[in-house]
């Protein structure tokens, strides 16, 4: 049985790890994988058709804990303990819930002190006791008690008093004063772990197509050994097609992984694949997992030739390998009206394929079906995705109409004048 420390408005933690509000999904999963012998039977719950409409949930069924992640930014928003009989809980080092100590209203009052009166929810038959960043829901002993706690009984005064002996059914840790209105906080300093994260990624374009990326990067910078100076810093970096490896390394730092392409599965779709001379060395990717970006370099020139932006939607084969890249792709669309005005539009990580087609038009060619698997004999439980090419961009579309990734192809390195123009915009 897990023995966990409750920190209101911050975390639920163990001696060796903690689930902190604002923590990225990938870090929480990493903790669960590292301690898989202790924390077992974990479920990943999400909406397959509408993944942005419902929180993404990690359900620790053996321990009675749910971790609720914001559907958009994929950071930890709420920690729910829904079965207190499966876990030990303590506050400031003192237990208030164990096999020997029942989490009654008297015990909660003793451990956490006074707060506002409890609120009765008739629909759930539960009393809610709220502290800042922490809520307890109490179960009534019997259905017969329910009517006298209705707000209209005795002018509502009875509902201010939680019945003696009532025990906690659920506990919630969140940010702020209201569980219903809570949002996932910014990522805490303890979660950076020496990595950099992308707050947003803007695609730099001109009339011909993509030129590169502008990344707003967050880092927890501090002097060597000086934790007092630690704070989140934001910096902007521009990467262009035609940039060298050294340009990219100086702007973004070392990649998490370098991946050499062993084969080009899209080669068959090029004009004359049989005429292409096999290369003696392979193109290679810089994989920046916490940025949600891959950068492909030409094996001969060692210059950037492709960017891949990952959306990290659940239900995709690569889910949880990359953090979500929150990108924006600016478009200038010509209206069909008589005056033929131009309109500015933006494609984002959350745009659906049918919305993109309305703006860019329908592709002339049929999609390329992409089937990923770890080996030739393995099946992909999530099914195939479809790749459509439009305006030097390839959109990988999932079966629920969401975008799994966007691949950007570019022309050679632009002149200094074009680069200055892109930076100005």
DSSP state of 419: H
In this prediction, residues 245-264 reach a mean pLDDT of 91
Q: CB within 8 A of 7, min separation 6: which ones?
A: 13, 173
User: Tokens 């017969």 belong to which residue?
Assistant: 144
**Percent of the chain predicted with pLDDT > 70:** 81
Distances (CA, A) of 26 to 32, 36, 76, 405: 10, 15, 10, 18
DSSP 203-214: EEEETTEEEEEE
Burial classification of residue 239, based on how many CB atoms lie within 10 Å of its CB (0-12 exposed, 13-18 middle, 19 or more buried): buried
Over residues 11-42, the pLDDT tens digits come to 999 999 999 999 999 999 999 999 999 999 99
Over residues 408-418, the pLDDT tens digits come to 998 755 444 44
* Cα(124)–Cα(416) distance, integer angstroms: 64
Nearest Cα neighbor of 85 from 101, 66, 106, 67 is 101
Which contacts (CB < 8 Å, 24+ apart) does range 177-184 have?
177/130, 177/132, 179/78, 179/130, 179/135, 182/77, 182/78, 183/70, 183/77, 184/21, 184/22, 184/69, 184/70, 184/73, 184/75, 184/76, 184/77
Nearest Cα neighbor of 329 from 227, 405, 236, 248 is 405
Over residues 98-114, the pLDDT tens digits come to 999 999 988 998 999 87
- Asked whether the beta carbons of 76 and 54 are under 8 A apart, the reply is no
Nearest Cα neighbor of 151 from 110, 113, 119 is 119
DSSP state of 186: P
How confident is the model at residue 274, as a pLDDT? 52
Residue 268 has pLDDT above 60, yes or no: no
- Asked whether the beta carbons of 303 and 244 are under 8 A apart, the reply is yes
Over residues 37-82, the pLDDT tens digits come to 999 999 999 999 999 999 999 999 999 999 999 999 999 999 999 9
- Asked whether the beta carbons of 329 and 355 are under 8 A apart, the reply is no
Over residues 364-385, the pLDDT tens digits come to 888 999 987 765 556 778 889 9
3-state secondary structure at position 237: strand
For 184-299, where are the alpha helices, taking DSSP H only?
Answer: 245-252
* Cα(268)–Cα(141) distance, integer angstroms: 69
Phi/psi class of residue 194: alpha, beta or left (left: φ > 0; alpha: ψ in -120 to 50)?
left
DSSP 129-162: EEETTEEEEEE-S-GGGGGGGSTTGGGGGGGGSP
User: Tokens 């200038």 belong to which residue?
Assistant: 332
How confident is the model at residue 411, as a pLDDT? 73
């Amino acid at each position: 049985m897990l023995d966990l420390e409750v920190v209101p408005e911050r975390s639920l933690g163990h001696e060796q790890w903690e689930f902190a509000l604002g923590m990225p999904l990938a870090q929480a999963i990493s903790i669960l994988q590292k301690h898989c012998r202790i924390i077992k039977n974990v479920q990943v719950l999400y909406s397959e058709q509408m993944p942005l409409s419902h929180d993404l949930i990690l359900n620790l069924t053996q321990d009675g804990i749910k971790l609720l992640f914001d559907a958009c930014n994929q950071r930890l928003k709420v920690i729910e303990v829904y079965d207190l009989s499966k876990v030990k809980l303590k506050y400031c080092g003192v237990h208030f819930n164990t096999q020997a100590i029942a989490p009654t209203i008297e015990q909660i009052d003793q451990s956490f002190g006074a707060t506002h009166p409890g609120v009765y929810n008739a629909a759930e038959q539960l009393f809610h006791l709220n502290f800042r960043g922490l809520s307890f829901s109490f179960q009534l002993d019997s259905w017969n008690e329910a009517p006298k706690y209705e707000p209209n009984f005795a002018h509502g005064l009875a509902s201010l008093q939680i019945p003696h002996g009532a025990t906690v059914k659920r506990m919630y840790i969140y940010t702020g004063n209201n569980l219903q209105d809570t949002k996932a906080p910014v990522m805490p300093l303890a979660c950076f772990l020496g990595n950099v994260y992308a707050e947003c990624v803007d695609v730099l374009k001109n009339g011909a197509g993509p030129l590169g990326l502008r990344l707003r990067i967050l880092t927890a910078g501090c002097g060597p050994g000086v934790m007092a100076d630690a704070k989140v810093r934001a910096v902007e970096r521009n990467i262009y097609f035609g940039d060298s490896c050294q340009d990219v390394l100086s702007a973004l730092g070392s990649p998490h992984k370098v991946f050499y392409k062993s084969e080009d599965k899209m080669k068959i779709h090029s004009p004359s694949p049989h005429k292409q001379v096999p290369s003696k060395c392979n193109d290679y990717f810089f994989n920046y997992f916490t940025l949600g970006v891959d950068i492909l370099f030409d094996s001969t020139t060692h210059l950037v030739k492709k960017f891949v932006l990952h959306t990290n939607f659940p239900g995709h084969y690569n889910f949880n390998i990359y953090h979500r890249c929150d990108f924006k792709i600016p478009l200038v669309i010509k209206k069909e009206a008589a005056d033929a005005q131009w309109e500015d539009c933006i494609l984002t990580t959350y745009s659906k394929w049918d919305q993109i087609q309305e703006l860019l038009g329908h592709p002339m060619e049929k999609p390329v079906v992409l089937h990923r698997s770890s080996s030739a004999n393995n099946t992909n439980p999530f099914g195939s995705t479809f790749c459509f090419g439009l305006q030097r961009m390839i959109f990988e579309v999932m079966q629920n109409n969401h975008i799994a990734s966007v691949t950007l192809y570019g022309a050679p390195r632009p002149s200094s004048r074009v680069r200055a123009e892109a930076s100005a915009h």
